[in-house]
Structure 1
Amino acid sequence: MKYVTKADGSLQPFDRGKVRRTLGNLGLGAGDADRIAAEIEESAPDGVKTAAVLRMIRTRARAVRPAVAHRTNLRRALALLRPKPDFEEFVRVLLREHGYQVETGCVLAGRCGEHEVDAIAQKDGTTIFVEVKHHVDHHRMTGLDEGRIARAIVEDLQEGFRSGRCTVSIDGALIVCNTKLSEHAKRYATCRGIGHIGWDYPKVQNLRTMIEETQSYPVTIVAGVSPSIAARLAAAGTLTAKQIAYGDAGTISRNAGVPLREVLLIAGRARAILEP
């Protein structure tokens, strides 16, 4: 068995599946990801550092898809967004891309109290409120508390609607987060009927697949976009790579206060990422 050396000096078995997933996050198809992961496992020396493996991944991925040079890892790109308001608005944009009618956050009156929610979304005759959870450390797990709180809010809002205090009939809740979910959180959400969209959960229509299906990548997917530039673009309503790739560069530059040459550079890289 071959091992890799982590940043803290500890050893762990070489995980070909993790290499495949990283290649997938860089935009490679399953066939290329499988082949390159096998090649890296074969050629990497035993005890290789994880940083060296990442360099090998990017080098080989660029040979297959040159646009890889212009993009960062999708999980990292999501973590680079400011939690409020940028990631919240990004989630609203993503839900609209998937057919939801979405209103921005508001305060809803329950029977026992008021509740500020991040969005109200409607689809297929069902109305839900959306709670958005963002972690800067994308390796951190989202746990049980969010689901328990959402369950309590659903009950209070439904009682509030029956008593006439709440003007919106809420059928359920949806929690959207940029990280993986703990097993406890998954079990509770399933048992209590709380919707969850995490990085890789559920297996179908998770955050990663929802983004990739519609190419709704955050603008931070573009390599070289600093947090300050991303914040300016987001404040001006440019949250996704599609918006900057195909929007009017002059208008974006003026609205965001970002030099035109920088907007054009980001837009060119974004088009390279989006187009096959």
Structure 2
Amino acid sequence: MDIQNIEIIKSSGEKVKFSLDKLRSSLKRTGADDTIVNQILDKVRDELYQGISTKEIYNRAFALLKKNKSFLASKYKLKKAIYELGPTGFPFERFVSAILRYSGFETKVGTILQGECVSHEIDVIAFKNSEATIIECKFHSEQGLNCNVKIPLYINSRFQDIKAHWIKSSKNEEVLTPGWVVTNTRFTKDALQYGNCCGLYLLSWDHPNNNGLKDRIDRLGLYPITVSTLLTNREKQFLLSRDVVLCRELKNDSFFLDHLGVSETRKEKILNEISQLCG
């Protein structure tokens, strides 16, 4: 079968041509060597059929990676792991806050700020070099849902209200920089156009190019605990409920694994996986 003519179905329902290069890139991004990557590509290519879903391709590649090295599989499941931070957006807000902290910002989550007209609850406010940045997070717990133009429109109106009061207030020593909108999915074309036009900074799974959410996570080694292939869903939810969002946090405080009653042998495997992830 000529794989160039294979159409696959994305989570949004859209049909696209299968790309071996895209699959290769996503596997290479985990740090897998050429031998492992080529073995997986060969097996996936043999199992392709017309109308296969991206989810089926992902599941097969994930299983093959996990068979080789679990920490590579953890990196590969990053996008899915972000969705697993749900169903509420609060763990995602803490996750975004953590990424900013490791980038040199001081952060606060869930702050009330006064606007010119009304007060606003802000997801994250970040401070750095005498500047303050307001960050609003839009979390989707289902794949295929993107942020349309209504999101930056709404957030920009809130930002402008806060900015009008911020400038007048003598309490605020920091300069207020342009607001951010962060999502775990993607922005529509109109949303990007409006955001760029009004001066908002938009951060999504793959935007800006080479500096999107996935790039920042890989670069800083800031993986959410939901990427683990060794922790159960119950254990992940327990850790999230205790505000343990990053693998790095668990690496530095394994007390929570003891609290969960994890055996020493399994604990060693989990911490080894996490150490390899965090680099």
Say yes or no: TM over 0.5. Answer: yes
Identify the residue that residue 230 of structure 1 maps to in structure 2: 236
Residue 111 of structure 1: CA displacement? 0.9
Once the two structures are TM-superposed, the CA of residue 263 in structure 1 deviates from its matched residue by 4.8
- Contact 1:160/1:166 (8 A) holds in 2: no
Tell me by how many angstroms 1:266 deviates.
2.9
Residue in 2 aligned with 1:102? Answer: 107
Cα offsets for 1:159-207 (capped at 9, x unmatched) = 1124439747532211111101111111111111101110000013210
Q: What stretches of structure 1 of length at least 5 have no aligned partner? A: none
For residues 226 and 104 of structure 1, the distance between their equivalents in structure 2, rounded to whole angstroms, comes to 27
1:187 aligns with 2:190: no
**Structure 1 equivalent of residue 22 of structure 2:** 18
Change (3 A) 1:240 1:149: same
| Alignment match, 1:120 | 125
Question: Which of 80, 83, 89 pairs up with 2:84?
Answer: 80
The 2-side partners of 1:163 and 1:48 are apart by: 58
The verdict on how the C-alpha distance between 1:201 and 1:150 changes in structure 2, with shifts beyond 3 A counting, is same
User: In the alignment, which residue of structure 2 is the partner of 1:212?
Assistant: 218
Matched, 1:141 2:146: yes
Cα deviations by residue, 1:240-274 (Å, 9 ceiling, x for unpaired) = 11222x2232x2236xx422326554323323434
Q: Structure 1 length as normaliser, TM-score? A: 0.81
Secondary structure of residue in 2 paired with 1:135: coil
Q: Hey, what's the Cα distance between the residues in 1 that align with 2:5 and 2:225? A: 37
User: Is this contact kept in 2: 1:11–1:47, CA < 8 A?
Assistant: no
Most deviating of 161-170 and 148-157 = 161-170
Shift of 1:223: 1.4
Secondary structure of the corresponding residue to residue 207 of structure 2: coil
Task: Write out aligned runs for 1:34-73 (5 A).
Answer: 39=42, 43-44=46-47, 46-47=49-50, 49-50=52-53, 53-54=57-58, 56-58=60-62, 61=65, 65=69, 67-69=71-73, 73=77
1:29 is displaced (CA, Å) by: 5.7
Report the RMSD for the aligned CA atoms in angstroms. 3.3
Change (3 A) 1:10 1:138: closer
Q: AA paired with 1:157?
A: I
Q: Distance in 2 between the 1:150 and 1:110 partners?
A: 13
Quote the offset at 1:226 in angstroms. Answer: 3.7
SS in 2 for 1:260: coil
* In structure 2, distance between residues paired with 1:175 and 1:155: 14
User: CA 1:175–1:195 in structure 2 vs 1: closer, same or farther (change >3 Å)?
Assistant: same
How far residue 126 of structure 1 moved from its aligned partner, in angstroms, is: 2.8
Q: For 2:98, which of 93, 101, 104 is the aligned residue?
A: 93
Separation of aligned partners in 2, 1:182 and 1:89: 24
Question: Which letter maps to 2:126?
Answer: A
Q: 1:102–1:121: 8 Å Cα contact kept in structure 2?
A: yes
- The 8 Å contact of residues 221 and 277 in structure 2, kept in 1 or not, is answered as no
Within-5 A mapping of 1:160-175: 160-164=165-169, 167=172, 170-175=176-181
Where 1:116 maps in the other structure, the secondary structure is: strand
Compare 61-70 and 140-149 and name the one that shifted more. Answer: 61-70
TM-score where L is the length of structure 2: 0.81
What one-letter code is carried by the residue in structure 2 that aligns with 1:267?
A: L
Cα offset, 1:55, TM superposition: 5.2
Deviation at 1:66, TM superposition (A): 5.5
In 2, Cα distance between equivalents of 1:236 and 1:92: 16
**2: distance between equivalents of 1:10 and 1:197?**
23
Q: Determine the C-alpha separation between the residues in 1 that align with 2:51 and 2:153.
A: 42
Instruction: Specify whether residues 155 and 74 from structure 1 end up closer, same or farther in structure 2 by C-alpha distance, changes over 3 A only.
Output: same
Give the SS at the match of 1:121. strand
| Distance change (3 Å), C-alpha of 1:242 and 1:232 | same
For residues 154 and 42 of structure 1, the distance between their equivalents in structure 2, rounded to whole angstroms, comes to 48
